[in-house]
Amino acid sequence: MGRFLSLLLAVAWLMTVSAAVDPALSDGRVTGELLPGWRENSEWAKAWVHYSVHRENGKAFQRADVRKIESGYCQFDFRLPADLKPGTWELRFKVRLLGRGRLNTGIRMVNAPYRWLFKTSVHPGGEWQEVSKVFSLRRLPAGEPLSILMQFNGVAVLDLQDVELVPAKPETGLEQNLFRQYSLELGLPGAWSWQNCFSDGDHVVFSPASGETGPSGMTPLKIEMRSGVMTSYDYRDTLSIYSAPMLPPPSGRKIVAGMMLKGAASGELAVRCGSRIVAKRSFSLRPEEGWRRVDVPFTASERGIYTLELSFRGTVLCDALYAGVPEKLAEAGRSGWTELAPDTGLNAAAGILFRGEPVSLRVLARPAPEAKTLKIEAVNLYGDRVNCRIPFPGNGGTLRKTVALELPAERRMGAWRLEASQLDAAGKTLAVPVAERVVNLLPRPVHWGKDAPDSPFGIHVQPVNRHLVMAKAVGANWVRLHDAGVQLLGWAYLERKPGEWHFDDAGIQRYRRHHLKLLGELTTAPSFRSYAVKSSAPYPTLRQSVTSPYFLPLSMEEYRSYCERIIRRYAGEVDVFDVWNEPWLPLFFHMDYVKKLPENAKRWASFGGGYYLSPDDPAKLFYEMQKQVRQAVRNVGKSIRVLGVNTTDSLGSEGRVPGREFSRRMAELGAAEDCDAISYHQYLTGLTGFPGDEVERGYERAIGPIRNHSGKLPRPVWFTEGSPLVEPCDGFYRTIPPGASPAEIFDTGDRIVRFVTSLLGCGVEKIFLYSMGLHNGYGTLNPHRLLITAAGELHPSAAAYANLTSLLEGKRFVRRVTVGNRVYASIFSDGTKSTAVLLPDPAYREAKWSPADSKQWCAVDLFGNRFVANSPYAALVTGTGSPAELETYLKQER
């Protein structure tokens, strides 16, 4: 059947007869013709598409000319045979793109609920690119038709050729160490991580085990878990370390994965394929036992990303990593391997360098028998490269060295991937795993090392040192304590038993030590003081979901007392507070949980096999909570600001309250005047940065009713949660999956810059992006993760955000003007210096602007490097002069 399916698809690319698209189905928006077997599926969307069939080198290819998208996507699909079987499949095709956009593809249900059984994203370039994606279909929905869906989001010309779905060949894998390193002397390797609430240097300490020689002959890595930590889910008394994805294991073979351990600890070693644990083993260590190999046997029965998870409490020394067939274990220590690490220091550990700082690396390598030199190469997103070669010792001994790399004078800013590979005498690369690291060259933030209360730039981030360094380094100066950090102030986390309070003052101080101002959140309630005690059905536990502590408090007086306690304790450290969270969303504002939805239910949200029920008039009850917080501030007698309203741009779905309706009700109650700032949230997926974009429309839905009711905005507006991303690409690694193309990284950075610029253009006073706190290794990829990778490393797109914040800090939005050919320039100024953020119209392929020669003004690209002509991505122009002078220059253009 697999061969039949492959031939069935291939027929479409060989036949000259095509099928016409019926334009009447889309009111004339979609026209043209498709190859046989393919069906148009965009009639539901507001997308203008013309399909055509062309030939190149004797082969037909499908072209989709997407001319305009107001909502939805361009979609077309190929119906799969009804007898498709579960198994491991390979989807492969050729694709190229004129313009910018993202192609989502995979296997999806034809009918509602349109669930993806497999989904992947591709950012094609201007040349034909071969794509191959291997995946497992473990169970198929009975009786449901399936299709290969091509879902394109972008105004561009998409070409597609040679689509095939075939049974995947068994993974031959490698009969070598599937870990890229054998030793851990230089610390955790690239793409390794640990549980996201454990702060390095506080809850956990990583250090070389000085004076100790491990089984590898190298200094072991010492990991000391000093204490457990309260997370936004529960108290964790074990620390988890997550490996980078292993090299592909051979299918059907017995594999062992583990390491040599020593110390005083107990825990578990587990192998994951994606998020699923495929094998695990418990262990207990005593110091007198010495070194002991702890490994987990498993069989790679499906394709996917395999990682190792080490969870323990205590102190361990780690060395001699090995994953592979058992019979090759003895050879692992004799094979070649390389470790690569940034030079010492907190910034270096976070993968950050500021402009002008040297790239300094520590190298540790055991040469393979044929290796003569070690090549270290740095490559950036533009493809610029620089390298050096270091000879191995003549006796074949271990190479230890600190290496300085001189980057090119131009296009230095942004992400650089550092690769170390072993070469033979002829300069040929040997089959020794490449060691990789990514460092990010950023502009030094305007407020590095000091508080910036007037800064508009905020983030959500855990109280973890390396991430606080990252947040401050990219120009964020404020943090909202929601999800990431909610455990420090949330009532349910602090009073876990009646009358027993547990505060984490050190967590609050950690933020402040990094000069991050705090927006505290007075939220959640202990189950014994909330409507949880009256729940109609068992509700999801805190470990299962962060929604459980958002049952509303039984007593408003008790809620006010809790608020007073927090405000009094942290006055001076936290001087702005948010009230609860998202009262328009029953997931975070509920009074009951039921298994069957009542017929008269008005406000509800489905979750965990049941339904959360909110009060019929959530605005009224939320305003009562807001008044309690205001009273608590007066009782404490401190100069504390309180955010109010907490609305949304949402159109409303299920039993959620539409933002326009919620804002109108809050305005009628007087809540907008009874606060110090109005807060709102927005999440979106489309590109922004043009007049009437989704940011502007969302702002109007959320804030317009308040302005209209009062005749003007009674208070400043803070954007306290949201993101322009839902499917972030991951990292800039080449050999460590899943990786990302430069086009994906440019696209991600551009979306963030457009989003922030549009919000500032609406007059928003502060912006808290969501979130740098959502990472726990490659087994749990969170769709709202932003500015960091799945391993918690700085995402390359963060350099675009850093470039934006460094040039806009201290400046106010002045106006937006159109320059060049459909390029929108948002001008900011502090009265002396001015900066324009240039955003080409994403719906117009020919949008461009070219800078005239100037000594006064400097044009740079998305990451702060030299300006790139005809780029669809954001650019910035900055210099000393007034907004009028800058506008004049922008309109000169070459």
Question: Which tokens sit at 264?
Answer: 């005083």
Percentage of the chain beyond pLDDT 90 is 78
Distance separating alpha carbons of residues 79 and 515, to the nearest angstrom? 56
Contact 651, 804 (CB under 8 A): no
Band of residue 8 on the pLDDT scale cut at 50, 70, 90: very low
Question: Which tokens sit at 610?
Answer: 């049941």
For residues 207-223, average pLDDT = 96
Helix, strand, coil distribution of the chain in percent, nearest 5:
20, 35, 45
For residues 525-540, average pLDDT = 95
Amino acid of residue 15 = M
Q: Tell me: the pLDDT tens digits for 708-724?
A: 999 999 999 999 999 99
Of the ranges 230-239, 325-334, 384-393, which one carries the lowest mean pLDDT score?
325-334
Distance separating alpha carbons of residues 132 and 1, to the nearest angstrom? 20
Which of 393, 435, 360 has the alpha carbon at shortest distance from 185?
435
Say if residue 771 is preceded by a cis peptide, omega within 30 of 0. yes
Of the ranges 166-170, 474-478, 568-572, 815-819, which one carries the lowest mean pLDDT score?
166-170
Q: Tell me: the pLDDT tens digits for 880-891?
A: 999 999 999 999
* CB contact set of 324 (below 8 Å; sequence gap of 6+): 174, 175, 176, 177, 178, 249, 255, 256, 332
Distance separating alpha carbons of residues 523 and 509, to the nearest angstrom? 20
Band of residue 301 on the pLDDT scale cut at 50, 70, 90: confident
Q: Is the pLDDT of residue 170 over 80?
A: no
* Count of CA atoms in the C-beta half-sphere (13 A) of 194: 26
Distance separating alpha carbons of residues 849 and 839, to the nearest angstrom? 10
* CB contact set of 270 (below 8 Å; sequence gap of 6+): 277, 279, 280, 281, 296, 308, 309, 311
Q: If 0-12 CB within 10 Å is exposed, 13-18 middle and 19+ buried, where does residue 686 land?
A: middle
Distance separating alpha carbons of residues 814 and 812, to the nearest angstrom? 6
Distance separating alpha carbons of residues 445 and 799, to the nearest angstrom? 11
Distance separating alpha carbons of residues 813 and 828, to the nearest angstrom? 4
Contact 252, 299 (CB under 8 A): yes
Q: Is the pLDDT of residue 9 over 80?
A: no
How does DSSP assign 4-33, residue by residue? HHHHHHHHHHH----EE--GGGGTTSEEEE
DSSP alpha helix (H) spans, 720-797: 742-761
Of the ranges 186-190, 579-583, 683-687, which one carries the lowest mean pLDDT score?
683-687
At 448, phi and psi to the nearest 5? -65, 125
For residues 378-388, average pLDDT = 95
Distance separating alpha carbons of residues 78 and 93, to the nearest angstrom? 13
pLDDT at site 477: 98
Which of 823, 806, 699 has the alpha carbon at shortest distance from 763?
699
pLDDT at site 894: 64
Work out the mean pLDDT of the chain and round it to a whole number: 92
Say if residue 113 is preceded by a cis peptide, omega within 30 of 0. yes
For residues 628-634, average pLDDT = 98
At 876, phi and psi to the nearest 5? -135, 145
Contact 762, 696 (CB under 8 A): yes
Which of 64, 84, 88, 58 has the alpha carbon at shortest distance from 76?
64
pLDDT at site 253: 87
Q: How crowded is residue 884: how many other Cβ atoms within 10 Å of its Cβ? A: 12
Percentage of the chain beyond pLDDT 70 is 97
Q: How crowded is residue 453: how many other Cβ atoms within 10 Å of its Cβ? A: 10
For residues 116-136, average pLDDT = 89
Distance separating alpha carbons of residues 504 and 560, to the nearest angstrom? 20
Q: If 0-12 CB within 10 Å is exposed, 13-18 middle and 19+ buried, where does residue 281 land?
A: middle
Strand partners, 357: none
Contact 517, 477 (CB under 8 A): yes
Q: Strands of 373-380's sheet, edge to edge?
A: 352-354, 435-442, 414-423, 373-380, 385-391
At 698, phi and psi to the nearest 5? -65, -40
Which has more pLDDT, 303 or 86?
A: 86
Q: Is the pLDDT of residue 145 over 90?
A: yes
Amino acid of residue 230 = M
Q: Tell me: the pLDDT tens digits for 710-769?
A: 999 999 999 999 999 876 667 899 998 877 788 889 999 999 999 999 999 999 999 999
For residues 628-653, average pLDDT = 95
pLDDT at site 343: 86
Contact 309, 241 (CB under 8 A): yes
Q: Is the pLDDT of residue 4 over 50?
A: no
pLDDT at site 11: 47
pLDDT at site 17: 62
Considering the entire predicted model, what is its pTM? 0.94
Q: Is the pLDDT of residue 660 over 50?
A: yes
Distance separating alpha carbons of residues 338 and 75, to the nearest angstrom? 45
Sign, CA dihedral 443-447-450-454, equals negative
Q: Tell me: the pLDDT tens digits for 242-290?
A: 999 999 888 888 999 999 999 999 999 999 998 889 999 999 999 999 9
How are beta strands 495-497 and 478-480 bridged, if at all?
unpaired
Question: Which tokens sit at 542?
Answer: 């805190």
For residues 562-582, average pLDDT = 97
Of the ranges 368-377, 741-750, 803-812, which one carries the lowest mean pLDDT score?
741-750
How are beta strands 46-56 and 30-34 bridged, if at all?
parallel
Decide: helix, strand or coil at residue 609.
Answer: coil
Q: Is the pLDDT of residue 7 over 50?
A: no
Q: Tell me: the pLDDT tens digits for 347-368?
A: 888 899 999 888 899 999 999 9
Contact 86, 70 (CB under 8 A): no
Q: Is the pLDDT of residue 770 over 50?
A: yes
Q: Is the pLDDT of residue 626 over 50?
A: yes
pLDDT at site 779: 66
Cα–Cα distances in Å, from 45 out to 23, 70, 628? Answer: 13, 8, 45
Q: Is the pLDDT of residue 39 over 50?
A: yes
* Count of CA atoms in the C-beta half-sphere (13 A) of 526: 16
Distance separating alpha carbons of residues 775 and 796, to the nearest angstrom? 15
Strand partners, 307: 272
What letters, b where the CB count within 10 A reaches 16 and e where it falls short, cover 233-244? beebebbbbbbb
Which of 181, 39, 158 has the alpha carbon at shortest distance from 99?
158
pLDDT at site 780: 66
Q: Is the pLDDT of residue 373 over 70?
A: yes
At 50, phi and psi to the nearest 5? -125, 120
Distance separating alpha carbons of residues 11 and 5, to the nearest angstrom? 10
Q: Tell me: the pLDDT tens digits for 412-432?
A: 999 999 999 999 999 999 999
